Amino acid sequence: MISVERPVGLLSLLVGFTIWSAAFLILYSMHALGCLWGWHQVTAGPTSLLRIVLVGIWIGHVAILAVVTLATRRYVAGAGSESGFIGAVAYTLLLAGLAATLFNGIPAAWIPLCVPP
């Protein structure tokens, strides 16, 4: 039976892609707003303010996913059979969410920002 103190269930299966979707939404919404507000023209060292904000959002979400993934891995290593199965599936989904977040954030770090149509 799954313990109430360490709930691993349906919610844990959704965490990875919920964080990914939040990263995707915030990253590309901030990209649009940053272009609208002219942050791409504000220099901050060798790059623009908009790129620093976007990369910060991306790295922040990757870090959150990495911490949750590592915590889930530790939990799965010490869990029983039922909790262990759900935890292993949650861990796999967290890895997929982490990979998707890494892949989706790459354009924010390297492609040109705010190119007019």
- Per-residue model confidence as pLDDT tens digits over 91-103: 899 999 999 999 9
Which pTM value belongs to this model?
0.83
Nearest to 15, CA basis, from 108, 86, 77, 109 = 86
Instruction: State the Cα–Cα distance between residues 43 and 38, nearest whole angstrom.
Output: 11
Lowest mean pLDDT among 7-11, 17-21, 102-106: 7-11
CB atoms within 10 A of CB 44: 12
3 — pLDDT class (breaks 50, 70, 90): very low
The answer, yes or no, to whether residue 82 has pLDDT greater than 70, is no
Whether residue 74 is predicted with pLDDT greater than 60 in this model: the reply is: yes
Does 1 score more than 70 pLDDT?
A: no
pLDDT at 90: 87
